[in-house]
Amino acid sequence: MTQKIPNIREQSVEDLTNYFISKGEKKFRAAQVYEWIWQKNARSFEAMSNLSKELRSSLANDFSFPAIQVDTTQYSADGTVKSRFRTYDNHLIEGVLIPTEDRKTACVSSQIGCSLSCKFCATGYMDRKRNLHFDEIVDQVTLINEQSERIHNQRLSNIVFMGMGEPLLNYAQVLKAIERITSPEALGMSARRITVSTAGVAKMIQKLGDDQVRFKLALSLHAANDEKRNKIMPINETNNIKVLIDSLNYFYRKTKNEITLEYILFKDLNDGQKDADELVKIYRQVPADLVNIIEYNPIDFFKFEKPEEDAVQKFMQYLGSKNVNAKLRRSRGKDIDAACGQLANKDQ
């Protein structure tokens, strides 16, 4: 039975030190390689230019370096940039750079495909091939950060796990990726600038609380009663709204971290006064800082439409009248299928 070649990015400094000693090399090589991987964001042994050719060749023989690469890039008229990334085993995932005047946000994926089948999300119509490894998630962030620096001369200010897949169904790797992203030895980003979005896996929301995470949490609610939510989000059948409310309160008690409720408006489904009233009731039961009201972005498989503008404004005004901190989030990148719910590797 052939043994799997270890991934270089799973090695600690101590592991690398032991490796170099076993090769008769100086200890400081370990720090050099670690710096190349996590501070200089090398994605191949060849890039490690201050190592001898022989040493790079030795590393390539003894370790794998399964980095993702940019496959295609699309540029939206509004400045949004969508990248399709290719993994070492030839799968495709998508990530998005969303620039505004005061923020440069990376929207990253956590899985190849998704198993939750939310009706309004293009990724939900794909099979889930596998979870992304922590270093593949970090790669997305570093590649999008390079785009931001190249285009805007600014580093990323925020990261949202709102791309392909359900982050809490890839719990260990997502948390390991965030640990790397926030490490001073790597990107050194503040955990408060990171938001993990979930369709609502209650027991894992509680686990986030138990693990005392420092990042923000967003719940994709999208309907404010179980009957409607069951129709568009099958996960609600096993994680209903009451269970989710309890898990969010538990998470907040444990962490005091910011919680956002996400709510896409669908014409004649969840955009009426009764729906707004039910949303207000949920908001009052959850320590949410914000309700993001999101424009629906059409996809091929789901025949709902976005409401007329006056219906949207009426919905927003009602929330305002009930002292709900709600913001209307206009879609970015619709012309390149980079908006919320549209990531699906369409042109495969």
Regarding beta strands 326-329 and 216-220, do their DSSP bridges make them parallel or antiparallel, or are they unpaired?
Answer: unpaired
Active-site residue (options: 94, 136, 166, 262): 94
Q: Are 23 and 66 in contact (CB under 8 A)?
A: no
* Cβ neighbours for 290, distance < 8 A, ≥ 6 positions apart: 258, 260, 261, 325, 326, 327
Determine whether 114 is an active site residue.
no
Determine whether 94 is an active site residue.
yes
Using alpha carbons, select from 333, 347, 348, 335 the residue that is nearest to residue 163: 333
Active-site residue (options: 107, 114, 118, 340): 340
Neighbours of 3 (CB within 10 A): 5
Helices H, strands E: what count in the chain?
10, 12
User: How far is residue 255's CA from residue 68's CA, in Å, rounded to a whole number?
Assistant: 33
Query: How would you classify residue 267: left for phi > 0, otherwise alpha for psi between -120 and 50, otherwise beta?
Result: beta
Q: Are 80 and 336 in contact (CB under 8 A)?
A: yes
Active site residues: 94, 340
